[in-house]
Homo-oligomer: A and B are copies of this chain.
Amino acid sequence: MKVQQKNTPCQLCMSRKFSLFSDVSEPHLCQLSDNKNLITHKKGQILFYEGTKPLGVFCISDGIVKVYKTASNGKEQIIRLAKAGDFLGYASLLGEEAYSNSATIVEDANICFVPRESFLKVLAEDNAFHQRVTKALCKDLGVMESKLTDATQKSIRERLAFTLLKLSETYGIDGNEGEKINIVLTREEIAGIVGTATETVIRLLSEFKKDELIDFEGKKIIVIDKKGLARLSDFYG
């Protein structure tokens, strides 16, 4: 974990433009930029642990981070995968609680750390920003409701199919034989997203491949038949 020069000010940061900071005013942007720290993280490094106290928020410049809770059986339930432009840790900070989850680097990442005070100052002074944060929280809440409902009412097969569709939506790049999910996840991590055992994921992925819904290219998954996966995932009720 090495601290880099603050060579990219927030003002010029490309991924900021897709983030909650997109429309923050120039002076506030300076305030953020002057106080942030860009840190380079390697795959496997832990950004923060559930139960510890947030000292600021993280803003992903590039890379992938998994946000997860560790269940009492030791398994990781992945809450979400965060990518460039996404914020981490702000809900716990604003909730004035310890982190409700942990975050670990899935793909090498450059992440800015914005200390608590800077973040809260901008939040307090820039009402439009506060509104965007509120709106984001509300949307996240709606997403979590859907995830909970899916977790209790859908089968693992349905959930895995749905997970693959969502991943291809977010990380998909077109190829000659289908859409490649351009992110490396272990079977165990996919199991963590779906909420099941690793072996079950392995078996189902093999089945999906046999049924020509997906294919493998190295460690990456190619989605061949989106409609088939949508049908399987009970996308139409």
Name which of A145, A147, A154 has the most chain B CB atoms within 10 A of its CB.
A145
Among A132-140, A178-186, A223-231, the one that faces the other chain is A132-140
In the complex, what distance in Å separates the CA atom of A72 from the CA atom of B159? 13
A9 proximal to B (CB < 8 A): no
Number of copies of chain A assembled together: 2
A175 proximal to B (CB < 8 A): no
A55 proximal to B (CB < 8 A): no
Question: Do residues A142 and B92 form an inter-chain contact, with CB atoms below 8 A?
Answer: yes
A33 proximal to B (CB < 8 A): no
A77 proximal to B (CB < 8 A): yes
Question: Do residues B138 and A95 form an inter-chain contact, with CB atoms below 8 A?
Answer: yes
A8 proximal to B (CB < 8 A): no
Cβ contacts under 8 Å, A195 to chain B: 148, 151-153
Cβ contacts under 8 Å, A234 to chain B: 72
A7 proximal to B (CB < 8 A): no
Cβ contacts under 8 Å, A145 to chain B: 69, 79, 100-101, 144
A-B contact pairs, 29 of them (CB 8 A): A69-B145, A69-B149, A71-B153, A72-B234, A72-B237, A73-B153, A73-B154, A77-B148, A77-B149, A79-B148, A91-B138, A94-B134, A94-B138, A95-B135, A95-B142, A97-B139, A97-B142, A100-B142, A100-B145, A100-B146, A130-B130, A133-B134, A134-B137, A137-B138, A141-B141, A147-B148, A148-B148, A148-B151, A148-B195
